[in-house]
Amino acid sequence: MNITKFLKYRVVAASMALVLICACGAIYDDAVMTQSSQSAASHPIGNITGIVWKLKRFDDLSSVSGNGSVDDPNRYTLILLPNKFYKAKADCNRMQGSYVLDGKQIKLAPGAATLAECGPESMYAQYLRYLTEAVSFEINEDDRQLKLNLPKGRMMFENGGKITE
């Protein structure tokens, strides 16, 4: 093996190690996902941060199999933290990154993620991709539902309660 191939393999190995380290950093303390018993109605209208949003269904998204309903919303969650970072649970995977809000516009930047295979029925890959495709949001007047609008559909979330540290 010549020195060039050896260096290529070292660069690839180092890159893979870096990706693995970043992905492992995305696993966050599930205690953050613990919900308080505080009523969602106590939040001011339009406040979408600091809440565990649970995915209920995908609407009008062609790559989602079935009717787009999510069997267990606890497996697909989104938390928009006040510090402009988000945390997402996608079945057996986790992702975190930053987000920008501008009026009703939203952009979630892809961040570090675990990418374990969760099983044939899992929608983790679609969910993670759709999160980063969101362009705007709507929230109903009592803060019970959040809609993330995408170019070709939307994701509907229910309020799962305020996060606790």
In a domain, 2, yes or no: no
- DSSP for 29-49, please give it: -GGGGPBPS--GGGSPTT--B
The answer to whether position 68 is within a domain reads yes
Which CATH number characterizes residue 131's domain?
2.40.128.270
In the chain, % of residues over pLDDT 70: 66
Domain extent for 48 = 30-162
For residue 56, tell me if it sits in a domain: yes
Is residue 95 domain-resident? Answer: yes
Task: Answer whether residue 110 is part of any domain.
Answer: yes
pTM for the whole thing? 0.71
Tens digit of each residue's pLDDT (9 = 90 or more) over 119-138:
998 999 999 999 999 999 99
pLDDT above 60 (res 39): no
Q: Give the DSSP per-residue string, the chain.
A: --HHHHHHHHHHHHHHHHHHHHHHHT---GGGGPBPS--GGGSPTT--BTEEEEEEEEES-TTS-TTSB-S-GGGEEEEE-TTSEEEEEETTEEEEEEEEEETTEEEE----B------TT--HHHHHHHHHH--EEEE-TTS-EEEEEETTEEEEEEEEEEB--
In a domain? residue 81: yes
